[in-house]
Structure 1
Amino acid sequence: MAHSVSTPSLNIDVRSAQIEDLKPLLSLEEKAFAGDRLSRRSFRRAMTSSGSALLVAVNEGGLLGYALLHLRQGTHLARLYSLAVAPEARGLGVAKTLIQACEKQAIKKGKNLLRLEVSDVNLNALSLYRKMGYQEFGHYDAYYEDQTDAIRMQKVLRYSADEQISRPLSWLAQGTPFTCGSASLQMVLSALSSDYQATPNDELEIWREATTIFMTSGHGGCHPMGLALAAQKRGLTAEVWLSEEEAFVC
């Protein structure tokens, strides 16, 4: 896989990394990161793994940057694991070009969503990701070796042909370990009605209405039938697709 992109200041070729790129990659990794560096073994594995794509940006002067994309098996998720640009090539569009190449590669592999982590002190990277349509959806405390926090971001790359989504769907983090179903329904309600305000109280109320599991060791999650009824109670039309015909309540 290879393609070229022209910027006002230089030409950038993006292609899959080859074994001869290993030494320049290790040198770039040393320059770009003070810690959390990829090893020689990690780079070599990424070059041959079917679950990864290691892309390099080059020109006649050599290596400009790289991006390591993980393509998760059995899911529609891809993850931009690492991105680095040579100090002398920063501000010239190399990072944007690599990100766009990763997005195209993820789509080619059937992925709908691209996720990444970025240091909360890397303001330039945060600004670029936001401009490219990435939205924040989570946070990791002391994620990196230098104890800085990570901001989790994601971008929808494409929708399935049968999806009819014409409005943005804002991310809402669940407030408890057991209310993922409630938070999902709240996201839908927020997208479909400008009058709806997602609150922690309603999150728990939806869970109470939708759960069918009561455990002595902890709280159970929401049942799809219960979520459908909770959605109907709030003015939506809901369908549930079941893999068996037996009633879920005896």
Structure 2
Amino acid sequence: MKAVENGGTSIGIKAKDGVVLAVEKIINSKLLVPGKNKRIQTIDRHIGVAYSGLLPDGRHFVNRGRDEALSFRSTYKTPVSLPHLMDRLGLYVQNYTCYNSVRPFGIVSIVGGVDDNGPHLYMIEPSGAYWGYTGAATGKGRQTAKSELEKLNFEELTVREAVKQAARIIHQAHEDNKDKDYELEISWCSLEETGGKHEFVPEELLQEAIQYAQEDDEEEEEEDTEMAN
């Protein structure tokens, strides 16, 4: 869990019309190419995952999820449901805690998507245990992120609004890592906005969300200054 607790913050938001995933990807070197080593990946057309912790473990988890989704689709000729996928992945992750020849996964993953029953959001831990959420957070800034998520009205929140809120929350949670630069990744999945497909938000919307987060941070600083005076 140390790898998770010291990793960049990841959050998931289940809005009324879809899900939003966001990740604070810490930039440890100026030599890294922007946009590479993404922490948000697609498992199936309608399912995405964000994770905090060890990058190789995250890739292995995603590949296993893709194998499960492909196996289900080839057998039943229909896309896998997220609850079924989580059952399978939960068992797989839990198996890595049962034998001394392997170690547990060094990640906590937030998995979200949409199907005929609406949006779904889950978080799965290294133990293999998972729960359904309306808002989930993991990583170094998880406590700050959870506090901000609890203030949201998920029943009225749209995915477009959730994108802005996700950027704001990640920006606030970054205070725990403020000595390092970070790159913001945000994806969404919505029947209305993306046709049920999990994909990264358009660059224009991403920049709009980043600007919203920065302006909100400036307003809070001004309020704190006024109160101090």
Give the structure with higher Rg (CA).
Answer: 1
Same fold at TM > 0.5: no
Higher normalized helix content (fraction of residues): 2
Q: Answer 1 or 2: higher relative contact order, Cα 8 Å, separation at least 6.
A: 2
Band of TM-score, shorter chain: under 0.3
Q: TM-score, normalised by structure 2?
A: 0.27
